[in-house]
Amino acid sequence: MTPPTSPAPHVIAPNSVRRVMPIVIVALVPAIVMHVVFFGIGLAVQLVLGITISLVAEAIALKLRHKPLLPFLTDGSAIITGVLLAMCLPPLAPWWLVVSGSAFAVLLAKHLYGGLGANPFNPAMVGYAVLLVSFPAQLTQWLPPQLADLHIVRPGVGDSLYTIFAGHLPAHLAWDAITSPTPLDSLRTSLAMGQTMQEAQANPMFGALGGRGWDWINLSLLGGGVWLLALRIIRWHIPVAMLAALAMPAAVMNAVDPGAYAGALFHLTAGASMLGAFFIATDPVSAATSNRGKLIYGAGIGAITYVIRTWGGYPDGVAFAVLIMNAAVPLIDRYTVPRIYGHAR
Amino acid sequence: MTTAINHGGLRLAGNKQRSTLKPSRLIAAPAQAVLPLDQHAGAPASPRVKVGDRVLRGQLIGQAEGEISASLHSSIAGRVRAIETRPVPYHRGSPSLCIVIDNDGSDSEVTGSLVDYRSLDPRALCEHIEAGGIVGLGGATFPTAPKLRRGQQAPDIQLILNGAECEPWISCDDMLMREQAQDILQGAVILCHALQAKRCTVVIEDDKPDAERAMRGALTKLNDERVAILSVPTIYPAGGENQVITAVTGMEVPSTGLPSDIGVLCLNVGTAAAIARWLDRGEPLIRRMVTVTGSGVNEAGNLDVWLGTSISDLIGESGGYAGSLARLLMGGSMMGLALPTDDLPVVKASNCLVAALPADLHPRGVEMPCIRCGNCSEACPALLLPQQLHWFAGSQDLGALEAHGLMDCIECGCCDYVCPSQIPLAQRFRDAKPALIERLTAREQAFLARERYESRDARIERIEAERQAKLAEKRKSMTARG
């Protein structure tokens, strides 16, 4: 009898990188549905484009790097990148935006650094930041939420597809008539013009939370995130730290001057707060390592997001906050190595 | 009840039922015994017999050499056929010098001298234990006498007997506790005397109720208030030496130190039983309990095996193979060694043989890059960051490996088990250790050399100062007289 040999251990848990991806996608589905309900079919198109281009870019990169295609194409990481980027873009953004963003994310932000597991920056956020800096106008063309009491011209499915793929609106529509700033953007502009919070939030796009439509999307993302926590796909440290560090300064500033600063609930349910907390900042590859490090990393993202939203040049700050803290990860990791068994406390 | 593991660990399928259904049985002495001279940690024993010599069962055939070593005794009566290198089931398969003895069928034994431990002082008792070839039977085979000597130097030491057999498949300690509880406790009493210990705790995992019952029964009969039994939750690796010590004392073994530094000495229950057999029956360490199990063997069970018996004989005793093996493991599925053949001798370290069919194991798939998910650091009982160690091992960054505690890795394999990228982390860490050990040793030697140099300087200065002082005194007395 000459049985084969291998190093111990000889039994490992039935677990794989591949297992995680479908679960994360499912966790995003409620938010995607809400997005389509409130902002139309655009996101679905952006998702298809984002996923397709991410996979194509991944395949090209793997081919160029002489890596096996199958294990890496099916690991789900490229799909997640495409999905996250698409979810950040305005629903009627022209096709070349999501295409170039996804390609940039996968080819440059991921594979130039060594591919899966080796990218210091979150690829989807790199892609988004590049688009935001390069094409700011297209990235502000958001739609108002589709609500019964908001009487706004709304492009249909055909018009949406035409707009995305032609890169401009059909002749009978005009951008001025159909677009609307996001609540974060609107609030920013109004406050900059000297309005108070109360005046700014008189606009019907604001509800009890972070803007109508956006509140439901964020609550859906919160639900999906809690589900991921329950399944132990993600850990609590980063989302809790990020949301706390976003909510706390918001609450303090709002208490100091309610006329000039939005409250904690608005910030938590506006923009990319929940997407960032549960789906972007939790990307383990580009996040800090130890639990203490994750708390610092998450808190940094929350705080920087608040600063950018409140005093910075962009309506939302999650993407830049994530990228800045990505850059800080090596430093955080260096100073947050946990105490090892048998070492002095 | 105490928690055995403060951090990490795994709840694994034990796979221990099948091998504990029937009582253990002593198997016949083999026709030939192959006894490696280096089947313990430390220096190999030196042969005390020549080819052609007639030896008796229990006769000393290899003498311990140096501070950390263990003696070796013949497990059968017969004639020395050869003293040559043979393949052994450790050292990653490289052969070792073995004494090969052909059985003459006489079963003649050395009439061992029975020793009342109370008649010996701790030092002499330690020496006697050394003469019995006793080593740790938990798998690490560290010679017991040097361990005891170290323990004797520590003030107020407490003894821990490890019966937390946490690895999947292995049940030899479980059976030993069920069947030979008295021997184990007698060993505990002897060891308490050797260490002058006031306390001895036997640690048993809570998935071994029969063993615990037997041990508690024997303890009631023994009625020795120094000895206590502690049940701990079944979490792999609760039976790791550090984990057991922390479970009992709440203290951690210092990273650069030994258990005796915190007043603890930990031995396997099997070691205690072997000591009792040596003192009370004059039988040195020439047989041990071996679990033979796995779906690949027809009858699983525990066998009392004469050292040097071929593993293939054990499989024969167990009804032979039941299929084509995926692995033949010595030890459990988490830390066990995969043997390339069954034509290898049972040694002091052989606690278990798993003849595994594919369904028994779950081998690794294709290795993917680390995605830093952190499952490994959650599972690590040593509170390490395996994902970082993996990164630093890849770049051979010895400084970072040291800072991140590579030497504190106990190689339990928990990180491997949970890794979604199927990275053989434990093996990477085993491979990375030698280079770091070399670096640490070099540094230690440089440090010692500097200390020697500095102490030499100080000595010369001191002598010079003393000389000057004497001279001055002499002058003073001269002037006084003059």
Domain boundaries along the sequence of chain B: 18-28+111-287, 368-482
Q: What gap in Å lies between CA A42 and CA A45, rounded to an integer?
A: 5
Res. A181 pLDDT band, cuts 50 70 90: confident
Say yes or no to pLDDT of A151 above 70. Answer: no
- Residue A28 near residue A83, CB atoms below 8 Å: yes
Question: A56 in a domain, yes or no?
Answer: yes
Rg (CA), chain A: 21
Q: What is the mean pLDDT of residues B312-336?
A: 93
Question: A344 in a domain, yes or no?
Answer: no
**Is residue A71 domain-shared with residue A207, that is, in the same domain?**
no
Count how many domains chain A has.
Answer: 2
**Is residue A188 domain-shared with residue A152, that is, in the same domain?**
no
Please name the residue of chain A whose CA is at the shortest distance from the CA of residue B168.
A11
Q: What is the mean pLDDT of residues B279-283?
A: 91
Any CB–CB contact under 8 A between B92 and chain A?
no
Rounded to the nearest angstrom, the minimum Cα separation between B279 and chain A is: 36
pLDDT given for residue A148 in this prediction: 66
Contact partners, residue B110, CB within 8 Å, separation at least 6: B56, B57, B58, B59, B282
**Is residue A175 domain-shared with residue A234, that is, in the same domain?**
no
Question: A343 in a domain, yes or no?
Answer: no
- CA-based nearest residue to A323, from A287, A295, A293, A272: A287
pLDDT given for residue A189 in this prediction: 82
Contact between A341 and B242 using a beta-carbon 8 Å cutoff? yes
Res. B347 pLDDT band, cuts 50 70 90: very high
Rounded to the nearest angstrom, the minimum Cα separation between A217 and chain B is: 27
**Is residue A230 domain-shared with residue A124, that is, in the same domain?**
no
**Is residue A173 domain-shared with residue A245, that is, in the same domain?**
no
- Among the partner-chain residues A8, A20, A115, the one whose CB lies closest to the CB of B426 is A8
ipTM comes to: 0.87
Mutating which of A12, A236, A334 best tests the B interface, going by the most B Cβ atoms within 10 A? A12
pLDDT given for residue B2 in this prediction: 44
**CA distances (Å), origin B127, targets B133, B148, B278, B431:** 10, 10, 12, 36
pLDDT given for residue A213 in this prediction: 84
**Is residue A126 domain-shared with residue A255, that is, in the same domain?**
no
Q: What gap in Å lies between CA B437 and CA A241, rounded to an integer?
A: 39
**Is residue A57 domain-shared with residue A111, that is, in the same domain?**
yes
CB contacts of B335 in chain A (<8 Å) are 8-9
**Is residue A176 domain-shared with residue A188, that is, in the same domain?**
no
Say yes or no to pLDDT of A137 above 90. Answer: no
Contact between A116 and B254 using a beta-carbon 8 Å cutoff? no
Say yes or no to pLDDT of B3 above 50. Answer: no
pLDDT tens per residue, range B117-166: 888 999 999 999 999 999 999 888 999 999 999 999 988 899 999 999 99
Say yes or no to pLDDT of B321 above 90. Answer: yes
Q: What is the mean pLDDT of residues A306-326?
A: 93
**Is residue A151 domain-shared with residue A187, that is, in the same domain?**
no
pLDDT given for residue A133 in this prediction: 92
Question: A285 in a domain, yes or no?
Answer: yes
Q: What is the mean pLDDT of residues B387-412?
A: 93
Tell which of A165, A181, A197 closes a domain. A181
- Among the partner-chain residues A1, A12, A333, the one whose CB lies closest to the CB of B422 is A12
- Residue B382 near residue B408, CB atoms below 8 Å: yes
Contact between A337 and B422 using a beta-carbon 8 Å cutoff? no
Any CB–CB contact under 8 A between A69 and chain B?
no
Query: Which A-chain residues 221-280 have CB contacts (< 8 A) with chain B?
Result: 235
Q: What is the mean pLDDT of residues A26-37?
A: 94
CB contacts of B382 in chain A (<8 Å) are 340-342
- CA-based nearest residue to B373, from A294, A111, A340, A334: A294
- Residue B229 near residue B256, CB atoms below 8 Å: no
**Is residue A147 domain-shared with residue A196, that is, in the same domain?**
no
- Residue A286 near residue A292, CB atoms below 8 Å: no
Residue with tokens 């999650």: A318
Domain B368-482 belongs to what topology?
Answer: Fumarate Reductase Iron-sulfur Protein; Chain B, domain 2 (1.10.1060)
Query: Which B-chain residues 166-185 have CB contacts (< 8 A) with chain A?
Result: 168
Rounded to the nearest angstrom, the minimum Cα separation between A327 and chain B is: 16
Polymer length in residues for chain A: 345
Say yes or no to pLDDT of A197 above 80. Answer: no
pLDDT given for residue B5 in this prediction: 61
The pLDDT mean for chain B works out to 91
Q: What gap in Å lies between CA A126 and CA A105, rounded to an integer?
A: 6
- Residue B12 near residue B236, CB atoms below 8 Å: yes
Please name the residue of chain B whose CA is at the shortest distance from the CA of residue A77.
B371
Tell which of A181, A206, A233 closes a domain. A181
The pLDDT mean for chain A works out to 90
Res. B388 pLDDT band, cuts 50 70 90: very high
Question: A9 in a domain, yes or no?
Answer: no
Any CB–CB contact under 8 A between A343 and chain B?
yes
**Is residue A139 domain-shared with residue A71, that is, in the same domain?**
yes
Beta-carbon contacts below 8 Å between A and B: 164
Contact between B387 and A289 using a beta-carbon 8 Å cutoff? yes
Tokens of A76: 């789900």
Res. B304 pLDDT band, cuts 50 70 90: very high
Percent of chain A with pLDDT over 70: 98
Rounded to the nearest angstrom, the minimum Cα separation between B224 and chain A is: 32
A98 backbone dihedrals φ, ψ, rounded to 5°? -70, -35
Say yes or no to pLDDT of B280 above 50. Answer: yes
Please name the residue of chain A whose CA is at the shortest distance from the CA of residue B422.
A16
Query: Which B-chain residues 308-367 have CB contacts (< 8 A) with chain A?
Result: 312, 315, 321, 325-329, 331, 333-342, 356, 360-366
Tokens of B464: 């010079």
Tell which of A131, A158, A181 closes a domain. A181
Res. B278 pLDDT band, cuts 50 70 90: very high
pLDDT given for residue A132 in this prediction: 93
pLDDT given for residue A130 in this prediction: 95
Contact partners, residue B210, CB within 8 Å, separation at least 6: B20, B174, B178
Say yes or no to pLDDT of B250 above 60. Answer: yes
Say yes or no to pLDDT of B173 above 90. Answer: yes
Say yes or no to pLDDT of B455 above 80. Answer: yes
- Residue A320 near residue A314, CB atoms below 8 Å: yes
Contact partners, residue A3, CB within 8 Å, separation at least 6: B325, B326, B327, B328, B338, B339, B340
pLDDT given for residue B310 in this prediction: 95
Contact between A289 and B341 using a beta-carbon 8 Å cutoff? no
Q: What is the mean pLDDT of residues B235-250?
A: 91
Query: Which B-chain residues 420-449 have CB contacts (< 8 A) with chain A?
Result: 420-422, 424, 426-427, 430
A43-57, A241-255, B97-111, B441-455: least confidently modelled range = B441-455
Domain B18-28+111-287 belongs to what topology?
Answer: Rossmann fold (3.40.50)
Domain that holds residue A159: 16-181
pLDDT given for residue B1 in this prediction: 39
**Is residue A247 domain-shared with residue A201, that is, in the same domain?**
yes
Q: What is the mean pLDDT of residues A59-73?
A: 91
Mutating which of B391, B416, B428, B431 best tests the A interface, going by the most A Cβ atoms within 10 A? B416
pLDDT given for residue A150 in this prediction: 67
Q: What gap in Å lies between CA B435 and CA B393, rounded to an integer?
A: 10
Question: A272 in a domain, yes or no?
Answer: yes
**Number of other residues whose CB lies within 10 A of the CB of residue B396:** 11
Q: Are strands B158-163 and B264-268 parallel, antiparallel or unpaired?
A: parallel
Residue with tokens 């401009």: A168
pLDDT tens per residue, range A247-259: 999 999 999 998 8
Tokens of A184: 């974060």
Contact between A289 and B253 using a beta-carbon 8 Å cutoff? no
CB contacts of A284 in chain B (<8 Å) are 371-374
